[in-house]
Structure 1
Amino acid sequence: MKTSEIRDLIDFISKSGLNEVDIETKELKLHVKREPDQKVFKSSPVIAPVAATAPVATSAPVVQQAAQTPATQPKAAAEAPASGKKTIEIKSPMIGTFYRSSNPDTPPFVSVGDKVSKGQTVCIIEAMKLFNEIESEVSGTIVKAPVENSSPVEYDQVLFVVEPD
């Protein structure tokens, strides 16, 4: 299950009035629960690894994943004019810690002015001790990188601005 599908499920639950949903497949066990009167915020989902047989007891909206899914991909935002040219934003698909490289001794995946291709890893976001490679969904040139290395990021926060080819 992709991060966008999990977000859609959480949004659906918050709008529908449902309080609890369980989904289980071979690769994934998903349990979402919220208190009936609790407000759900778009940036509030928490993703946590859990054993397949672990009991879940929580009052906050929580998404629990039994298996690590393939690297999540950011959502390309609507095109917005910047200095007369169209750009696309690569946004964070989750809350976590942003890293420009795989470790402190290696160069960053991408920098301002670099060409990126669709599917190329642009950064890593650590969430709950899981390191998620974030891939570009567009080919182009990085024109802006507003997030500092090792900084916390919010869901849907702009990580990079790309000028498409």
Structure 2
Amino acid sequence: MSMDIDFVEQLIGILERSALSELEYAEDGGRVRLVRSGNQGTAGTSPAFAAAVHEAPVQPRTTSAVQGEPKERTVSAPLAGMFYCAPAPGQPPFVAVGDLVEAGQQLAIIEAMKMLNAVEADLKGRVVRVAAADGAAVEAGAPLFAIEPAGDSDV
């Protein structure tokens, strides 16, 4: 498994925009751990980060297409707000990694200004990654899910 450099940059962005001091992500034998270091920063400066990537070299996005691996499509946040994986606290999530989804199927909710907005799949495929944490604040355009497109024979 090779970790996509764009995905690592997205993780850094999530950490920068949050109050978290540390973020760790692992998938298919690869792992990345981001830790805020030093001064938390002052107005106009961005905090410093230390990153450690284990067991997975960082590769540019174009590598997967060259090797013939299926391309993942990202479902991004349509607006800024709070990201929720389930319809209500204590209920199971709309989808989980490995689930097959149809275009138009609800994947999550983003709450913005006391309004609940559905996040829907824009293609048929398999959920391969949930990129946002349940209850996390997300910005418009932030990656939420990675979906591997599927043909009719896959579902």
Give the TM-score range, shorter chain: 0.5 to 0.7
Scaled by the length of structure 1, the TM-score of the pair is 0.50
Query: Are residues 1:85 and 2:76 paired?
Result: no
Q: CA deviation at 1:146?
A: 1.4
Paired with 1:151 and 1:143, the residues of 2 have a C-alpha distance of 19
Q: Which amino acid aligns with 2:82?
A: T
The residue matched to 2:71 in structure 1 has which SS? strand
The residue matched to 1:125 in structure 2 has which SS? strand
Q: CA deviation at 1:114?
A: 0.5
List alignment gaps of at least 5 residues for structure 2: 1-60, 151-155
Q: Which amino acid aligns with 2:84?
A: Y
In structure 2, the residue matched to 1:133 is 118
Contact 2:70 2:149 in 1 (8 A): no
The residue matched to 1:86 in structure 2 has which SS? coil
Scaled by the length of structure 2, the TM-score of the pair is 0.53
Deviations 1:12-46 (A, max 9, x none): xxxxxxxxxxxxxxxxxxxxxxxxxxxxxxxxxxx
Identity across matched positions, percent:
38
The residue matched to 2:72 in structure 1 has which SS? strand
In structure 2, the residue matched to 1:144 is 129
Paired with 1:146 and 1:119, the residues of 2 have a C-alpha distance of 19
Paired with 1:108 and 1:130, the residues of 2 have a C-alpha distance of 19
* Aligned Cα root-mean-square deviation (Å): 1.9
In structure 1, the residue matched to 2:139 is 154
Deviations 1:63-116 (A, max 9, x none): xxxxxxxxxxxxxxxx97488221110000100000001101210000110110
Number of corresponding residues: 87
Q: Which amino acid aligns with 1:123?
A: A
Paired with 1:133 and 1:91, the residues of 2 have a C-alpha distance of 12
Write out the 4+ residue segments of structure 1 that deviate beyond 3 Å after TM superposition.
79-83
In structure 1, the residue matched to 2:7 is none
Q: Which amino acid aligns with 1:93?
A: P
Paired with 2:101 and 2:113, the residues of 1 have a C-alpha distance of 28
Query: Are residues 1:118 and 2:103 paired?
Result: yes
Name the one with the larger helix percent.
2
Bigger Rg, structure 1 or 2: 1
